[in-house]
Structure 1
Amino acid sequence: MIYAVECSYNDRASEVEWNAFYSFEKLPALISVAGINTSQRFKALTPGCPKYLALHSVACPDVLLSAEYRLKGGGNFAKWQSHITDWHRNVYEGIELMPAVGPTDLLALSFDGSSAFEHDDEAFRLEAVALDMKPAFRWLRVFDLVKVDLARLRLEGLALYEPMGKRLMPGVRNE
């Protein structure tokens, strides 16, 4: 399952500090929670969608209800909470382990269930099963930047994201 957290941030003066907190404190704390198997952050290249996206592979939605998850900062952005806007959280079925999105890759995510990926064997159909439950269905696909037609993807109305760092995994030296 994938736990998706989407948001924008409205304070330019503290945005660099917030991103450092999220990438270097929050994600490493969350990846140490039992049942969270991967974590990776992304920044939108497409207007009209939340600016930031974090995708976590989770064993089940109950992981997000655990005391350990809350203790390690899950669901809370500390002093930055008041600057978080357009915040959405969903748990999706359809993929067991989120693939790593490398520095020369691009992540495409549909805003809703409609997508050009319906017959694409490398795309994942995601169905919301917990939290906001909107959108109910999405498609996710990782592309190699060298091989992708960006203009076509933008015309398809997809949210396009670049990775903000490597995919983190528990028990792996995540630097």
Structure 2
Amino acid sequence: MIYTVECNYADLASEAEWNGFYSLEKLPALISVSGFRSSQRFKALSGACPAYLALHSVDTLAVLHSDEYRQKGGGNFSRWQSHITDWRRNFYAGPDRAIAVGADEFLLVSEQGPHVLIELGLTPLALHAVALDKAPASRWLAKLGCVQARASNLQGLNVYRAMTVQLQS
């Protein structure tokens, strides 16, 4: 299952510090939780989407209700909470693991259907919302090399660059 967390951050003065906390402290804490298999964080380059996206591969939704999750990774945002906007969480059925996106690749996300990604010669991964916000109900993910992206029409897609490597348990 894929657990997604998306948001914007509204305070430019503390945004770099918040990004450091999330990428260097929160993701490693999450990946140490039993049932979390991978975690990676992204920043949007274009599209009608929140600026930040985290993709986590988890065993089951029950992981998010565990004491271990609450102690190590769930929450811990009190210092930043007032600046986090457009926050949404989704739990998607689909692939067992989120795709790892390298520094020389982009993550492409379609909420309109897989056809845009297929037209780029990619094989999209389908995600279907089963819990939490359940919006969007479906998404399709693919990764594209930076060189290929320059020659491609990415209109209608949310385009992200990786902020971290994919951490794995």
In which range does the TM-score fall when normalised by the shorter chain? over 0.9
Contact 2:47 2:157 in 1 (8 A): no
Partner of residue 3, structure 1: 3
Structure 1, unpaired ranges of 5+: 171-175
For residues 78 and 113 of structure 2, the distance between their equivalents in structure 1, rounded to whole angstroms, comes to 33
1:125-144 matches, cutoff 5 A: 125-144=126-145
Contact 2:92 2:127 in 1 (8 A): yes
Partner of residue 169, structure 1: 168
Q: Give the counterpart letter for 2:164 in structure 1.
A: G
Q: Report Cα offsets for 1:84-123 as digits up to 9, x if no partner.
A: 0010100111111112100000001123446423686621
Contact 1:112 1:135 in 2 (8 A): no
Residue 78 of structure 1 and its aligned partner are, at CA, apart by 2.5
For residues 6 and 48 of structure 1, the distance between their equivalents in structure 2, rounded to whole angstroms, comes to 12
Structure 2, unpaired ranges of 5+: none
Question: Does 2:32 align with 1:32?
Answer: yes
C-alpha spacing 1:83/1:115, structure 2 compared with 1 (3 Å): farther
Please report the TM-score for the alignment, with normalisation by the length of structure 1.
Answer: 0.89
Q: Give the counterpart letter for 2:43 in structure 1.
A: K
1:54-93 matches, cutoff 5 A: 54-93=54-93
Q: Give the counterpart letter for 1:140 in structure 2.
A: L
Partner of residue 160, structure 1: 159
Q: Give the counterpart letter for 2:21 in structure 1.
A: F
Partner of residue 148, structure 1: 149
% identity of equivalent residues: 54
Partner of residue 106, structure 1: 106
